[in-house]
Structure 1
């Protein structure tokens, strides 16, 4: 997959401007992860490849896009296939990304070849656009490591958070949220796996920090809506915040990623608004996210226009 990677100067294969949502009309995309680096937002999405009328997820790779203004998106030519992990048998489900010590670590949900159930792998690259390679040669988390539920998909949706003190944390789960410390090398757990009870937790746990407060958002109920809680540390204790984004009309899932970029905050999510879209043919979109004077997150409505242009110095 990566042997045809182009020189860095040719990395951007296409750039497009349109009504901001969804961020691409060319393919169906889902499960956004986002990273801000050197004046650009990098967006990592699963590629929904189910045919019209399909009845299951068909996801074989993650695609990479970037923007310096939140309206013009560049597609990069090196997708991350699930086969990056030789121990994976199928599926490119939700992932997340973090930068540390000049390297980019991509945490991804795949199906394990030899241990029944979903697993979490970690790939690494010297560039936010890849190519990525397996950082371990084995799963970071597999289904035999967790026993809170009898389902095979309870180890999904990894979200990584690096705190101001340098401690990295991994959050994941379906039905029950789990979290663990990561070692400084970003590819090993540092201690036990913890679980925490959250109100009607489904999946898509995500942690971000704003003005000294920790915000834990997640998908609640099914069909899902995005809600959030707040706390004084990366491990809580957590207090109810409110509903961040309401349910989709024709898609049961929603899946958020939240970043600060060029003085504003943004939330990525997916819905089924493209023609022919739906449960297995989703589309990633983005909105500006705002906070109230008390630190609460104001409810976010889904729009076709998306956020206003916010060009960074990288656009010049």
Structure 2
């Protein structure tokens, strides 16, 4: 009669231990991570994959947000917004990125436009990192008819936002062709024309960050994708290619990443296919610590089941 309680306890113990490793979330399929370190806490935003086991396409209706004080234990905060938060959109809560400016949180996201064919980029705003977010401008900031470099309908996806030390903000995005604009201080309008950037074998999922005096532009290259990066002296280059820092996944062809610094350490979030029944349209968010070499280059990053060691923020409480 003691077998059943002991089995239940063992399962609970294993579930608790698993929660501290990769993939980060065991009860849902999550993809395209975007991350923000804010006031001692890390916030992680993911698209929710809802495709069935035998699905043949992405089913993504909403974004989810989680937070952590120690990079090990994650608290779920539900859905801060969905694709229809944008009244001009009709579906597809695809990849996004977030930043904070003047006490407000700006969330740049990929959706399908309801009247202009193709993917578009919207921006939502909130007074809280956990939302709720609302459409910041009532229209897309980027639509498919604004870019003519390719004839595909999904070349305007995967936004990443970066605010430089002088206050100038940039929005990078693209599939097959990498593009960027400067943003006005209000964070919801372009300040000047769309520019294109040539980096080797660019596929999608650009990310821009800075460490010390060096700017790092990373992206998913080729297909199936691996993560590569370049360095430069400014937020717009010129860019020097440095190589691959994360290998392609075994099953899922994408690997979309985000890089943050938190509590004195650097981290890279990405997605893989490691949950049971995971795959191309059922992905799982994960995280690793990212290390720099003495010359500022990034060390190659293996994917692990353990993830990074705990890194608790003083005063942060769940």
Matches within 5 A, 1:102-121: 102-121=103-122
Q: How far is 1:111 from its partner?
A: 0.2
In structure 1, the residue corresponding to 2:123 is in which secondary structure?
A: strand
Contact 1:17 1:73 in 2 (8 A): no
- In the alignment, which residue of structure 2 is the partner of 1:232? 233
Please give the TM-score of this superposition, normalised by the length of structure 2. 0.93
Please give the secondary structure, in 1, of the residue aligned with 2:315.
Answer: helix
- Deviation, structure 1 residue 77: 2.7
Instruction: Determine the structure 2 residue equivalent to 1:125.
Output: 126
Following the alignment from structure 1 to structure 2, what is the Cα–Cα distance between the partners of residues 311 and 258?
18
**Contact 1:229/1:242 (<8 A) preserved:** yes
5+ residue gaps, structure 1: 1-14
Higher strand share: 1
Contact 2:63 2:79 in 1 (8 A): no
Q: Per-residue displacement from partner, 1:9-55 (whole Å, max 9, x unpaired)?
A: xxxxxx99724211100100000000010000000000000001100
The answer for the alignment partner of 2:101 in structure 1 is 100
Q: Distance in 1 between matches of 2:78 and 2:86?
A: 19
1:55 is matched with: 56
Provide the C-alpha distance between the structure 1 equivalents of 2:174 and 2:297, rounded to a whole number of angstroms.
Answer: 25
> What CA deviation, in whole Å up to 9, does each residue of 1:259-305 have, x standing for no partner?
00000000000000000000000000000000001101000000000
Q: In structure 2, what is the equivalent of residue 266 of structure 1?
A: 267
Q: Matches of 1:90 and 1:139 in 2, distance apart?
A: 14
Offset of 1:198 from its aligned partner? 1.2
Where does structure 1 differ by over 3 angstroms across 4 or more consecutive aligned residues?
none
* 1:66-215 aligned within 5 A: 66-215=67-216
**Which residue in 2 is equivalent to 1:222?**
223
| Residue aligned with 1:122, SS | strand
Compute the TM-score of the two structures, normalised by the length of structure 1.
0.94
Aligned length: 302
**Deviations along 1:227-284, whole A, 9 cap, x unmatched?**
0000000000000111110000001000110000000000000000000000000000
Q: What is the DSSP-based 3-state SS (H/G/I as helix, E as strand, rest coil) of the residue aligned with 2:78?
A: strand
Aligned to 1:245: 246
Residue in structure 1 matched with residue 35 of structure 2 by the alignment = 34
SS in 2 for 1:199: coil
Would you say the 8 A contact 1:38–1:314 is kept in 2?
A: no
| Counterpart secondary structure, 1:304 | coil
Q: Per-residue deviation at 1:315?
A: 3.0
Tell me if the contact between 1:17 and 1:71 (Cα under 8 Å) persists in the aligned partners.
no
- Counterparts of 1:86 and 1:302 in 2: how far apart (Å)? 38
* Structure 2 unaligned residues grouped into runs of 5+: 1-15
